[in-house]
Amino acid sequence: MTSQATAITRGSNTSFYYSFSLLPKEKREAIHAVYAFCRYTDDIVDEDGDDRAKRVRLRRWRMELGRSLRGTSTFPLLNQLSAVARRFNIPVEHFYDLFRGMELDLTKRRYRTFEELYQYCYLVASTVGLMCRKIFGYRNETTRDYAVNLGIALQLTNILRDLKDDARRGRIYLPLEDLRRFGYTEDDLLHFRYTPQFVELMRFEVDRARTYFDRARMALRDEDKRFFFAARVMWSIYAHLLNQIERSAYNVFDRRISLSRALKLLIAFRYWLSHCLKYSWFARWRRAGGKPGLAGRAR
């Protein structure tokens, strides 16, 4: 029987689903619970309606999370999430940090500096990576840097892709200091003006996002790559998306930049195949020099 979490994740048709669908069953279901929780929480914020009413719903949802952690919730999704948190020792602070980030979307519509935006990206994206990190497993604490930097990179990419949709809601996530630097105004963005100044601004923002993709990649040591192959799929999908934004001459106003379902599947399959070939019994046996008895001890 398909769980509510799996149904939400599958129905989302997002990069998240393609990235993590090839995980072992237990970890896949755990990741689905995390994603479904994040999706449901995000939908509260992004649905149509009064911000005050949304804050009330978000507060009640947060209280319900607390009940689930105490074993008294009647929400199956939160009970599943609570079981996942216990099973994989996920610090509950990550869930509450996510709430703090979602609350910002209801109270803050401008970011003066990149430092402010970085904190927002950490709360809504890096926290999710830190949850997933515990589910994947790891050997080195540097995987924390991987999760944090990848979260920043993914959220920055989302912001660039969704500039138009966010502007329609009156939200501007690009730091105002960056707009001033390149001579592009809030009014320009709110009216979707594609100008030379906008192109230069976007080039700068894409380069910044790439910096965080690179920081993530450099933080992941070889011995942890087998645990994080699903996250590396996400890295690749979003890196492709960033390249698409660049190839479109940064024009995110005329159409929403996206990757085809076929390309996402191809990227996921490529990483899965590479993972299988690298960590198969035969590969371990070859690395051990083809000597009997050594393959089973290879790590």
Q: At residue 141, does pLDDT exceed 60? A: yes
Domains and their CATH numbers in the chain: 1-96 (1.10.600.10), 108-259 (1.10.600.10)
Q: State residue 4's pLDDT score.
A: 62
Secondary structure (H, E, C), the chain: CCCHHHHHHHHHCCHHHHHHCCCCHHHHHHHHHHHHHHHHHHHHHHCCCCHHHHHHHHHHHHHHHHHHHCCCCCCHHHHHHHHHHHHCCCCCHHHHHHHHHHHHHHHCCCCCCHHHHHHHHHHHHHHHHHHHHHHHCCCCCHHHHHHHHHHHHHHHHHHHHCHHHHHHCCCCCCCHHHHHHCCCCHHHHHCCCCCHHHHHHHHHHHHHHHHHHHHHHHHCCHHHCCCCHHHHHHHHHHHHHHHHHHHCCCCCCCCCCCCCHHHHHHHHHHHHHHHHHHHCHHHHHHHCCCCCCCHHHCC
pLDDT tens, position by position, 186-200: 999 999 999 999 999
Q: State residue 47's pLDDT score.
A: 83
What pTM does this model have?
0.87
pLDDT tens, position by position, 241-287: 999 999 999 999 999 998 888 888 787 777 667 666 666 544 444 44
pLDDT tens, position by position, 220-253: 999 999 889 888 888 999 999 999 999 999 999 9
Q: State residue 295's pLDDT score.
A: 37
Q: What is the mean pLDDT of residues 171-178?
A: 98
pLDDT tens, position by position, 88-113: 999 999 999 999 999 999 999 999 99
Q: State residue 185's pLDDT score.
A: 98
Q: At residue 10, does pLDDT exceed 70? A: no
Q: At residue 160, does pLDDT exceed 90? A: yes
Higher pLDDT, 13 or 18: 18
